[in-house]
A and B are shown apart, each in its own frame.
Chain A
Amino acid sequence: MIGLWARDAVTYKQGICVDYPDKMLVNRCLAGDDSAFSEIIGRYKGKLYNYILRMTSDAEDAEDLTQEVFIRMYSSLDSFRKQSSLNTWLFRIASNICIDSYRRNKKHKAIAYSLDEPAFSDDSSETTHEAPDVSYEPHRVFMQIETAGQIEMALKKLPEKLREVVLLFDVEGISYEEIAQIVDCPLGTVKSRLFNGRAQLRKLLTDYTAG
């Protein structure tokens, strides 16, 4: 019973509301309350910006595309059916925007991804996307903790579809089920992409640490 009552609970600190559930904010937006929309922006701009920045590798593009997420949200809030969480919906918009941008932007062609092609076109000995060689040079040591810079560089080299799942799961902490909704693919594909993405990152970072 407590659960029923607490689900819509609002957190107050020193009498100030600090934690409206997303659902309440959406309802307020739909009722025409612009301050609720501002609150959603404040709550999500950092997360979305970081996700898009790591997908596009361009700070300026990332800002524009993050703004585009909120613009699309503002324009299409009426179509939000609330069957998924606001978080899932916004990341889905962001994912679609990244795909659109990726297709538009030719500079990303260098990391174009095809399931039929090797992950790294400049080296024909590299693994394919869906069947990474997990036994890659097992004698090599993945000993030292990689710096954030090395990880970000390795992330950039991941194919887009693998990168987005790694980012959503490992960086954003979003569940498999939600990721399946965001990227619009079966749960098994999410697990497979996460495994392949991690395996490729492992290999890239092993290369870095090996000098």
Chain B
Amino acid sequence: MHIMTNCEKIAPLISEYVSGTLNSKEILEVQSHIGRCAECAKLAEDLQRLSEALRSIPSRQPSLRFDESLTKKLAQLPKPNRKPRFSFGGLGSVFALAPRGFVRQSLALATAAAVVIGGLVFELNTHSNISSSSDPGLLASCVQQHRIDAAAQPLSDLSAQALTARPDAQDPKSDALSDINDTENL
């Protein structure tokens, strides 16, 4: 059975020492060992020089036709179906200056929620005003006003013809109800 010597145990730490990834306690341990052991001191020196030499290997560039060739290959691929994900992209200009992370997302969510709620409230109010069941009197008065306006200028408003053609002699209450049900004219 092979029993590791102290040098064999410390050698991996010497590699990390060269990498600069040891904590202060481990650094002291390595420095203490290489101060006493010439062999490990040599290893540390060699690995340091090796690491520096590797960092300075000159880079090479791909050939000049690399881009052209890649472009051709990419052109043969089916275009990825990238539907824009739900994001705050539309609000990007607004939030570009805001801090990122939680605060920024919270601001975006709050704004989005406000827009949605506002839209719902508006939608409900609009429907309740026009709805035939909620305020028939208001609707009837609108229709009546429209008739008066159309009667004043019968030829300039073709859409009013159906209304103006109705007999005016009817009871205002029944008139209002029948017009309410005539959605084509509204």
Q: What is the minimal beta-carbon distance from B56 to any residue of chain A, in angstroms?
A: 7
Residues from chain B with Cβ under 8 Å of A194 in the complex: 15, 19
- A166 to B55 alpha-carbon distance, docked (Å): 10
B51 CB contacts on chain A under 8 angstroms: 170, 198
Q: Are B58 and A148 in contact (CB under 8 A)?
A: yes
B contact residues around A1 at 8 Å (CB): 99
In the bound complex, how far is the Cα of B99 from the Cα of A184, in angstroms? 34
Stretch with Cβ within 8 A of A (4 or more), from B39-47, B108-116, B118-126: B39-47
Q: Is B47 within 8 A of A148, CB to CB?
A: no
Interfacial chain A residues near B73, Cβ < 8 Å: 67, 71
**Interchain CB contact under 8 A, A74 and B84:** no
A49 to B60, alpha carbons, bound, how many Å?
8
Q: Does A151 lie within 8 Å of B42, measured CB to CB?
A: no
Residues of chain A within 8 A of B7, CB atoms compared? 134-135
Q: When A78-B80, A134-B43, A194-B19 are in contact, do A166 and B54 touch as well, CB less than 8 Å? A: yes
Is B3's CB within 8 Å of the partner chain A? no
Q: Which of B12, B16, B45 counts the most A-chain CB atoms under 10 A from its CB?
A: B12
Contact status A195-B11, CB under 8 Å? yes
Contact A145 B53 (CB under 8 A): yes
Please judge, given known A-B contacts A134-B11, A135-B39, whether A67 and B66 are in contact too, CB under 8 Å: yes
B interface secondary structure, majority: helix
A34 to B9, CA, bound (A): 52
Chain B, interface residues (CB within 8 Å), range: 35 or more
- Residues of B25-48 at the interface with A, using a CB-CB cut-off of 8 Å, are 39, 42-43, 45-47
Whether B99 and A169, one on each chain, are in contact in the complex, defined by CB atoms closer than 8 angstroms, is no
| Shortest beta-carbon distance from A4 to chain B in Å | 4
Closest Cβ–Cβ distance, residue A7 to chain B (whole Å):
6
Supposing A49-B61, A63-B66, A134-B7 touch, asked if A7 and B21 sit within 8 A by C-beta, the answer is no
Q: Provided the pairs A5-B99, A198-B47 are in contact, do residues A176 and B82 lie with their beta carbons within 8 angstroms?
A: no
- B53-A146 in contact (CB<8A): yes
Of B19, B63, B74, the contact of A169 (CB 8 Å cutoff): B19
* B82 in complex: contacting residue of A5, A78, A142, CB < 8 Å: A78
Asked if A96 lies at the interface with its beta carbon under 8 angstroms from chain B, I say: no
Chain A residues, Cβ within 8 Å of B99: 1, 4-5
Nearest CB of chain A from residue B147's CB, rounded to whole Å: 53
Please determine whether B62 and A45 come into contact, CB atoms closer than 8 angstroms: yes
Using a CB-CB cutoff of 8 Å, which residues 55-101 of chain B contact chain A? 55-63, 66-67, 69-70, 73-74, 77, 80, 82, 84-85, 87, 89, 99-101
List A contacts of B146 (CB < 8 A): none
Would you give 5 A-B contacts (Cβ < 8 Å), ordered by A?
A: A8-B100, A134-B8, A138-B39, A170-B54, A191-B16
Interface of A toward B, CB cutoff 8 Å? 1, 4-5, 7-8, 27, 30-32, 41, 45-46, 49-50, 53, 59, 62-63, 66-67, 70-71, 74-75, 77-78, 134-135, 138, 142, 145-146, 148, 151-152, 166, 169-171, 173, 176, 191-192, 194-195, 198-199, 201-202, 205-206
